[in-house]
Structure 1
């Protein structure tokens, strides 16, 4: 582990309880005690990011893991709103989704996603992918403070 590694705040925007569980497991098994917060739809994600209502005291995330297919407000809309908001646009967003559709990949990057990762179906591979994302953003990337 890199000596400069620090715990980071991660916001997971995911409506599938199974994927939330796997992501939590990947984070808990990893070396750095990153704090993972979870919201289950796009409207909740925006309320969290804007510190509205029950999220008034929410910490600003250092990284957002965003599913595209969400209830109430779709992940593409969340990505567009985050990257259009001067107060939020510097937060890196990794799209973590089941979609392998070229149009979703292209649109996500057009909306300024920092990375696009397809969720593996295999349990072990899913955990491995989340750990790699975690490692990369904790030990390699310099995040804005």
Structure 2
């Protein structure tokens, strides 16, 4: 059980308020995993490839799960997802889209690109906590993840 807790969660979201709410919801759900945040798709790819300010792989370890917003500046979540799933080293990392989008086109396109799950961001904090509890139970207690 302790091994499952060591999985790093990387959250890509450009909205500072959403990042704070997700962080608070994860704390509220008593998730023990380390959480790292990036603010756009370019930072996400820099983190995953250990480039620039993310060059230190001890400080910025490869995540076991990525929570991905779709609508971000510089490089959006769709572009980043396409790059992740095209990379042999990164494609095994489960990616969960967590976005305000409810567009059927986004749902279909992201699943076509290889997303593991698509979740529309809940509007209340209580609902977000419930989603984070369910996510953490599913990804860290039920599912067997590949060792990366």
Q: What is residue 125 of structure 1 aligned with on the other side?
A: 127
Note the residue ranges of structure 2 that are not aligned, 5 or more in a row. none
Q: What is residue 46 of structure 1 aligned with on the other side?
A: 45
Note the residue ranges of structure 1 that are not aligned, 5 or more in a row. none
Q: 1:100 aligns with which of 75, 99, 102?
A: 102
* Range that drifts further, 75-84 or 49-58: 49-58
What pairs up with 1:1-145 in 2 under 5 angstroms? 5-57=4-56, 58-145=60-147
Distance 1:102 1:3, change over 3 A: same
For 1:140 and 1:128, locate their aligned partners in 2 and report how far apart those are by CA, in whole Å: 17
Q: How well do the aligned residues superpose, as a CA RMSD in angstroms?
A: 1.4
For 1:136 and 1:46, locate their aligned partners in 2 and report how far apart those are by CA, in whole Å: 25
Give 1:53 shift. 1.2
| TM superposition score normalised by structure 1 | 0.94
For 1:50 and 1:60, locate their aligned partners in 2 and report how far apart those are by CA, in whole Å: 9
| TM superposition score normalised by structure 2 | 0.92
